[in-house]
Structures are given as structure tokens and as C-alpha cells.
């Protein structure tokens, strides 16, 4: 059995991944801001579970949590970067401080944990890194521009990591969930831009603020199915680079692929009617 290190393990998808990993016989280093909440969530896990305190934006806590996991179980085989926070609002509405706070957790915090674990995986010449992205890491939408930009960043460096780590026997998978019935839309995870600009109120960004409130805990995806799906895919040894979860995610991805094809066709039309070599090169 493997040792899983899971961030944001006390609730949401993190808790469901933890539950599924334990049910599959794995040991889990379950990291959360309050480790007591982890033990309360899994009171019967016993020695199979190690709750550790972790704020991913605190480099000292990151290394301490990883060290504790190795001391308890001797190794780490699967890293699940699940901890994250959201920001809802039009791009212009988001302050510099609000943007930086989201990036500190979703991008820099994720990188900090990854840098702490990768030396162990490289020494073992085995392991897997699972980065929780989002359908928003593939296609953005009004009101989510800042949040999805963090997921676009995760997608970009995860693609590079997959190529860099494959020769060392380490896999990388991006999980792209659609809307699941977790507490992501609660105030504990989601923050709204403090400034609301009137010009956006009647448009799609303003409508998204209302929609987020209405769909909270009524999202189509069942998180109790997501955890086992993720664990089973990693356990299979054939995990893909991207794992899309939820029918709404698949539909959004397919729609964007159609849109990109339409854009390429438009460029070809431009290339056919212009003498500019650079445009022709772009259009193929």
C-alpha cells in the first residue's frame, strides 16, 4: 500500500480523497489548518492516518508536515495538492491584495508543498503528483477571472512537470472538477471581491455572484463519487495527464474545443486572403 499526502484534507474533495485512500488500504498524511478537524472527520482511522497542521502559505509548516509524514510512514508516494481558495468578482473589481491572497494559496502554496515532496519521489524514482485544478483551468467564465487564472497557472506548470518527471518514474495528473456539492462556495473557501462596480452589476459578472449563492450545495457533482474515482485512477498506474470530473466539466471542455476549432478556421480564412507570411504561418 502507498502513503498519500493530501492538503486541505479536512473537508470537501480533500476529505473525500482521504476517505477513499483510507478505504483502499493506503496510509494518509492528512494536512489541514486545524489537524483536530481531520481526526474528528475520521475517528476510526487509527494509525493509518496522520493529521498534520498545514497552512500551505507557511514554508516552515510545509517542511514540518512533510518531515512528520516521513517520520511516521517512512515515505510519501502520492502527493495531492488540494488546498485552495476562490475569489468571485469581475477582474477589475479585484484588489491587488485580494489577487495576491488567491495566488499565495493556489499557486505559490501548491509549489511550496510540491518542492518539499519531490526530492523524496525523485530519490525513490517513483510516485505521483495530483494537482487539483478545475474546469476553470481549461475554460474561464465571467466573475471567475482571477480564480481561473490561478488554475491556468497550475495547468501550465503541471504540463511541464509531467514531461520533466516522467524519466524519473514520477507521474503527474491534473484533476479538473466541474461543480461539485462541496463547501467551495461557502465563505470558508470562497471570497468575494470587496468592491462591486455598478457597471458590472447587470452583466454576466454580477449575475455570477447571484448564481453562486443559488447553486451552493446544489451543484450537480457528487463529491462522494469523486474521491474514489481519483484514488482508483491513480492506483491503476495508468492515470492520464488530465482527469475531467462531472458532466458539466466535460460539456465545457468540449464546447471550448469547438470554439478553438472555429477560431482556427477563421484564421485560415484570413490567411487565404492576405499576403502577410506571419499570419499564414500562424494559420498553418
- Residues labelled catalytic: 133, 147, 151
Decide: 6 and 17 in contact? Cβ < 8 Å.
yes
CA angle 57, 58, 62 (to 5 degrees): 100
> Is the alpha carbon torsion for 68, 72, 77, 79 positive or negative?
negative
CA distance 148 to 135: 9
* Matching residue, cell 497542521: 53
Decide: 134 and 184 in contact? Cβ < 8 Å.
no
CA distance 8 to 25: 20
Rg (CA), the chain: 20
CA distance 18 to 228: 9
Q: Which three cell numbers stand for residue 141?
A: 467564465
Amino acid at each position: 500500500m502507498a502513503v498519500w499526502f493530501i492538503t486541505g484534507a479536512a473537508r470537501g474533495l480533500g476529505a473525500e480523497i482521504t476517505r477513499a485512500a483510507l478505504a483502499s488500504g493506503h496510509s494518509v498524511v492528512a494536512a489541514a489548518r486545524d489537524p483536530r478537524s481531520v481526526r474528528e472527520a475520521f475517528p476510526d482511522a487509527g494509525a493509518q492516518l496522520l493529521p498534520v497542521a498545514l497552512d500551505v502559505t507557511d514554508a516552515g509548516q510545509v517542511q514540518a508536515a512533510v518531515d512528520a509524514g516521513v517520520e511516521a510512514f517512512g515515505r510519501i508516494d502520492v502527493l495531492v495538492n488540494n488546498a485552495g481558495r476562490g475569489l468571485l468578482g469581475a477582474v477589475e473589481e479585484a484588489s491587488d491584495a485580494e489577487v495576491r491572497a488567491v495566488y499565495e494559496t493556489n499557486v505559490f502554496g501548491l509549489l511550496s508543498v510540491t518542492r518539499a515532496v519531490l526530492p523524496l519521489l525523485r530519490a525513490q524514482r517513483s510516485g505521483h503528483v495530483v494537482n487539483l485544478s478545475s474546469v476553470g483551468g481549461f475554460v474561464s467564465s465571467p466573475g471567475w477571472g482571477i480564480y481561473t487564472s490561478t488554475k491556468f497557472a497550475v495547468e501550465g506548470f503541471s504540463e511541464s512537470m509531467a514531461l520533466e518527471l516522467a524519466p524519473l518514474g514520477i507521474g503527474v495528473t491534473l484533476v479538473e472538477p466541474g461543480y461539485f456539492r462541496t463547501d467551495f462556495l461557502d465563505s470558508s473557501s470562497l471570497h468575494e471581491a470587496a468592491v462591486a462596480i455598478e457597471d458590472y452589476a447587470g452583466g454576466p459578472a454580477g449575475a455570477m455572484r447571484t448564481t453562486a449563492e443559488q447553486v451552493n450545495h446544489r451543484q450537480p457533482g457528487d463529491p462522494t463519487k469523486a474521491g474514489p474515482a481519483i484514488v482508483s485512477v491513480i492506483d491503476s498506474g495508468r492515470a492520464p495527464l488530465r482527469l475531467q470530473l462531472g458532466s458539466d466539466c466535460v460539456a465545457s471542455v468540449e464546447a471550448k474545443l469547438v470554439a478553438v476549432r472555429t477560431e482556427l478556421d477563421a484564421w485560415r480564412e484570413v490567411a487565404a486572403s492576405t499576403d502577410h507570411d506571419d499570419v499564414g504561418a500562424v494559420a498553418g
